Structure 1
Amino acid sequence: MSAVLSTVVDYVGHGESGAPKRPSWNVLHSSAPTPSGSSLSVQPVPTSTSDAAPEEFEMEGGLSSPVEDPELRLPNRGSLVMMIATNVLLQFAFFVTVSSAALYAEYLGGSALFAGLTIGIPTVFSGLALIPLAKYDQGRYSLPLKVVYISIILGSILHAVAYKANFLYLILMGRIVSGLGFTGFLYSKRYCSDPRIIGIRRRTTLASWLVLGQAFGFSVGPFIGGLLYKIGFANEVFNGYTSPGWVTSLVTVLFMIASLYLFKDVPKPHRVPSSNSVEGADAASTSASGIPAEVAISVGQLTRQQWGVIVAMCWSSMSCFFILGSWEANIPVFTAAAFNYTPYAAGNFIALGGIATVPFLLASVRYSPRFQDRATLATGSAIGTTGLVLALILLATDRVVFGSFYVCWVLVALGFNLASTCTLSLLSKQLPGAWNARTSLAIQYSNYSGRVTGAVLGGAGVQMGMKNYIAVQIGVVGVGALLHLTFWKQLKAKTG
């Protein structure tokens, strides 16, 4: 009996403990199933000619049939890229109006507070739309994506025509309609933690990609908005105030066309009754198609520790977007008063801070799956809080200059973007897969509440006093730190 070595390469690999090493950098470059066994296997050569044909074909190709590791599962590559790219589009659409929002509102008779309201109000209506949309989506994504694209197109057009109509509240109406499209924030997060298509050791990596897109969106959005304001185009249809809306609507049309060809939806959920087992629930049962069945448990089956983790993650998620949203809304107003910045300069300031975080967030895509989510959350919160404390010191000593304020913004943007990568991924690892829709809703509502209140706080920051403005943010982070320390042991989850 002779033997040959298979050429199958187990790109996951195994360490001494037998735990798989998790690749993360090339997570979007391969959707092939990952073998879970050793990279070397001995294949006996059949002695019977009649039995040899199928195995000889396999041997000549040098490949054996791999066994999919459910913890490293990935969906269709085109669908995954489309969903992550849509998240970038939504971030861009949300922030492209930030640079000129205050002046646009002022031109039509509004105030800086009204401008902050136009930045934050979309999330209110997005939150209102989530529950009825989730009722009819049937656990799938094609219908929500259509709602996302159509709403962004219509809302952006309404925002643009407010200038020609000379009607202030048309800006608000446009942002409200766009808010229906921002329900896509939920679906991008839910897709990247959906146990039917995403393995448990892929979720932090994909969450890091979403946050990288988030950083790109809030960097490029204000920059493009400020650039369009500077270019101007002196006519009533396409000018510095209206061009962000027209550009966003055009780009969204292209995305909608691309999604028709690239995005493949997931099967409908398949539920089975089970206990409240968490880590083993996602792989406990599968449907006939090979898609994991959702394990249904009731709210009453959750333990106190699980409820503690839910509260801690929701608060952390809220605080991250509360602080990021308040800074993004406040920077154009504060820099106009302190440094006499135009919307173009303010947009550049926001963008430069966001761009500075990109290398670090790219590194987090590569390395964060190696660390506990709770450690990433603590590290990001610490970095962001350092920026807040430094800003408070500078304001108290009246030493705010471009360089020092820029450092504060970079630390805040980096820290709280990094912290936001792991809130949903950690929660999805703590609860059964059947709860993915609920946990996604909980985290998204936390994000929305943070964005709304943060945008309003940022617009009113100069009026209420900048030191008070920063102190409120530090207090919010302090509550999150207390929850984090209280439930530190319960926040332990699988890496990846």
Structure 2
Amino acid sequence: MSSVSEGPVVHTPALDPELKLPKRASLVIILLANALLQVSFFIIVSSSNEYALHLGGTSTFSGVVIGIPTVFSALTLIPLMKYDKGGYLLPLHVCCAASIVGMILYGLAYKANWLYLILLGRITSGIGFSMWMYTKRYISDARIVGIRRRTTLASALIVGNGMGMGLGPLLGGIFYKYVGFGKGAGDIWNGFTSPAWVLAGVWLVYWIAVKIWFEDVADESVTSDLDIELQEKAPVQLIETKTDDPVNATGTSVSFHRHHLSSADSPRSASSPDVPSDKLGASQWASVIVICWFAAVSFFVLGAWEANIPVFGASNPSLNFTPFAAGNFLAIGALSCFPFFILNLFLARRVQDRYTLMFGSGMGMLALVVFMILVSLDKTATGGSSDPVSNQVGVGSAPIFFICWFAVALGFNVASTVTMSLLSKQLPSTQRWNGISSVLVQCSNYLGRVTGAVWGASGVSVGMTRYVGVEIAVTGIGLVLASGMWRHLKAKTG
């Protein structure tokens, strides 16, 4: 009898749970949702001031119109999280429906000649903006995203933010100028309303795509939060299995597969120090405060500049911005950041989140200080003239003003990249804490957006020196807090 020889030993490595990613089609749907929401938020920025004035409102009211959706987004999260069952399909349906209806209402305000209908339309759109929280929760969901992939996916969200900040005002300005109010324009389709009608159609197409391609997460994992933690922390063992070797017909090969011990087999208990506790320590709570502060400040400053530039540009004789010019100014600054957002996708795998947070905030802070100096000195690098009526400086006539806007947009967008991913790394990777952390960051974003939009629209009336001074103050507080918590903000890269 011939002896049976053993074939070669094959080691089949399992996918590292720290590097796992969701299904590509579903991930694309989520990233597109974020980008479309950004475009929907910013497309009215360039013309909202003129639209509000046409309907009998004020510049401050236009700031409220820009920022008010975030208030109702936060309120929508309360019932939505109660019924989402840990999934994302219901929020996507709500997002699409609310975005379509909101855009329709915004477009009908001109025909109705009712100022508060644009506010009602933005409030309805705000219900759809609740999806912003779910995009953040998705990219940090431990069931589908490994801890070393979260900052990378968060950087992908910021690419969508850049698209929205750039394309939104640009398209709004283009529609205002080229659709306009002349021949072919009417009470339904004109320079103010056309962006809303086009976006309503885009959201309808996107909704169909969601129905076809999106696969929800809720049914893919029925394990408990503790099971997820134990699976990620369990030791690896090699299990020997014999399989037929197609190469050696006379024998068998031995393959070793990598398996995680189940919670029942693992020598570690739920109280093991390797498994994160469900309760936070003082340093973790301090990290939560610091990160949420930056989440609010980043969008406060960005929202303030986005709302202020059209108003300041229109009121300053050295600029005399039309909605088209304001949209171009905002768009070019944001789109100039786009290559750096792409670069950040690759750097996120190698750079710690705390360094990204400080670098982005520091760049934004420097731009604010430079702008503050220009305003205080009442001159620009090219000798811009001041406005004797409003006592505002014509800084917009100088290239340095554009550079300031570019640095603000780049810096604070980069800083906002890591807020969700860094917080998710600081807290236990359970479904409960993922939900809590995503709500905390998103509500901080909402707070920054609404207060920033109102503050920016009021910048000319309160004085540009005071306007920029407040932004410097809140950013400086964040930098001091982060410096004090520097050691505790360290987390895994990627």
Q: Smaller-chain TM-score range?
A: 0.7 to 0.9
| Deviation (angstroms), 1:123 | 0.2
Show the counterpart of 1:325: 303
Q: Among the aligned pairs, what percent are the same residue? A: 49
Show the counterpart of 1:315: 293
Q: Deviations over 1:394-449 (max 9, x none)?
A: 11112212311101000000000000000110110111122101000000000000
Show the counterpart of 1:404: 400
Q: Which of the residues 16, 22, 28 maps onto 1:81?
A: 28
2-structure distance, mates of 1:285, 1:328 = 48
When the two chains are superposed, the root-mean-square deviation of aligned CA atoms in Å is 2.5
1-structure distance, mates of 2:122, 2:332 = 25
| Deviation (angstroms), 1:280 | 6.3
Tell whether the 8 Å contact from 1:201 to 1:495 is kept in structure 2 after alignment: yes
Aligned 1:361-440 pairs, distance under 5 A: 361-398=341-378, 399=380, 400=395, 401-434=397-430, 435-440=433-438
2-structure distance, mates of 1:249, 1:485 = 45
2-structure distance, mates of 1:298, 1:204 = 20
State yes or no: 1:67 paired with 2:14: yes
Q: Deviations over 1:234-259 (max 9, x none)?
A: 21111000011101101101111111
More contact order relative to length (CA 8 Å, sep ≥ 6): 2
Q: Deviations over 1:156-185 (max 9, x none)?
A: 000000001111100000000000000111
Show the counterpart of 2:450: 452
Tell whether the 8 Å contact from 2:277 to 2:428 is kept in structure 1 after alignment: no
Show the counterpart of 1:489: 487
Show the counterpart of 1:39: none
Show the counterpart of 1:470: 468
1-structure distance, mates of 2:452, 2:22 = 34
State yes or no: 1:164 paired with 2:111: yes
Show the counterpart of 1:140: 87
2-structure distance, mates of 1:201, 1:369 = 8
Change in CA separation of 1:95 and 1:281 when aligned onto 2, cut-off 3 Å: farther
Structure 2 unaligned spans of 5+: 236-259, 264-269, 381-394
2-structure distance, mates of 1:133, 1:75 = 22
Q: Deviations over 1:361-396 (max 9, x none)?
A: 111111122011000000000100111011101111
Tell whether the 8 Å contact from 1:120 to 1:452 is kept in structure 2 after alignment: yes
The SS at the match of 1:479 is helix
Q: Aligned partner of 2:490: which letter?
A: K
Show the counterpart of 2:212: 261
Tell whether the 8 Å contact from 2:29 to 2:214 is kept in structure 1 after alignment: yes
State yes or no: 1:283 paired with 2:232: yes
The SS at the match of 1:420 is helix
Aligned 1:155-304 pairs, distance under 5 A: 155-231=102-178, 232=180, 233-268=184-219, 270=222, 272=224, 283-284=232-233, 301-304=279-282
2-structure distance, mates of 1:299, 1:64 = 34
Q: Aligned partner of 2:82: which letter?
A: K
Tell whether the 8 Å contact from 1:129 to 1:180 is kept in structure 2 after alignment: yes
1-structure distance, mates of 2:303, 2:401 = 17
Q: Which of the residues 86, 103, 108 maps onto 2:55?
A: 108
Q: Aligned partner of 1:161: which letter?
A: L
Range moving further from structure 2, 175-184 or 299-308: 299-308
State yes or no: 1:124 paired with 2:122: no
Tell whether the 8 Å contact from 2:229 to 2:429 is kept in structure 1 after alignment: no
1-structure distance, mates of 2:41, 2:15 = 38
Q: Aligned partner of 2:306: which letter?
A: E
State yes or no: 1:349 paired with 2:329: yes
The SS at the match of 2:218 is coil
Change in CA separation of 1:449 and 1:299 when aligned onto 2, cut-off 3 Å: farther
Tell whether the 8 Å contact from 1:372 to 1:492 is kept in structure 2 after alignment: yes
2-structure distance, mates of 1:442, 1:107 = 37
2-structure distance, mates of 1:323, 1:441 = 20
Show the counterpart of 1:336: 314
Tell whether the 8 Å contact from 1:321 to 1:454 is kept in structure 2 after alignment: yes
The SS at the match of 2:87 is coil
Q: Deviations over 1:31-81 (max 9, x none)?
A: xxxxxxxxxxxxxxxx849x98xx9xxx9xxx9754110000001001001
Tell whether the 8 Å contact from 1:281 to 1:433 is kept in structure 2 after alignment: no
Q: Deviations over 1:311-344 (max 9, x none)?
A: 0000000000000000000000011112101000
Number of positions where the alignment pairs a residue of Structure 1 with one of Structure 2: 434
Q: Aligned partner of 2:114: which letter?
A: F
Q: Aligned partner of 2:204: which letter?
A: V
Q: Deviations over 1:168-208 (max 9, x none)?
A: 10000000000000011101111011000000000000000
2-structure distance, mates of 1:300, 1:429 = 14
Tell whether the 8 Å contact from 1:281 to 1:432 is kept in structure 2 after alignment: no
Tell whether the 8 Å contact from 2:139 to 2:154 is kept in structure 1 after alignment: yes
The SS at the match of 2:417 is coil
| Deviation (angstroms), 1:274 | 5.3
